[in-house]
Amino acid sequence: MIDVSPTITIPAAELTISFARSSGPGGQNVNKVNSKAVVAWNPMESRALPAAMRQRFRTTFASRLSEDGSLVVASDRFRHQARNLQDCFDKLREMVLKVLVPPKKRRPTRPTAASKERRIESKRRRSDTKKARKQDW
């Protein structure tokens, strides 16, 4: 079970956990021990996420989702299986937290009268500078 927030908990039954041999340097140990952790989860079918959150998850992490909507998170940063598994859970928790709060709707604003005046004045100064460079033939 992964506790994301006080209201959202991903049940362990929805997670598929597997282990594989890690890549990179490590001598004999890397060839013998399955220390890489791989966690698969389908957020589109998860009951832990509300519908609006599932939609935000789909749009935010579209490139990370497979065609059936499942997400695969892997970690081989550490030499220990348990630490790599915890790292996968942390990555998953961060992804869900990123879509937890809906983004604020942008409210269009208008420029103030003073900012318009400053813009016009700077244009006028620039124009005068260029006019002063001109030579009369």
pLDDT at residue number 6:
83
pLDDT at residue number 8:
86
pLDDT at residue number 137:
60
pTM more than 0.85: no
**CB contact set of 102 (below 8 Å; sequence gap of 6+):** 52, 56
The crossing angle, in degrees rounded to 10, of helices 51-60 and 81-98 is 110
Return averaged pLDDT per consecutive 10 residues of the chain, 137 residues in all. Answer: 83 90 74 87 89 91 90 90 93 92 91 96 95 80
pLDDT at residue number 120:
97
Instruction: Report yes or no: 91 and 57 within 8 Å, Cβ to Cβ.
Output: no
Fold assignment, 2-98:
Double Stranded RNA Binding Domain (3.30.160)
Alpha helix (H) ranges present in the chain? 28-32, 51-60, 81-98, 113-133
pLDDT at residue number 80:
87
CA count, 13 A, side-chain hemisphere, 56: 15
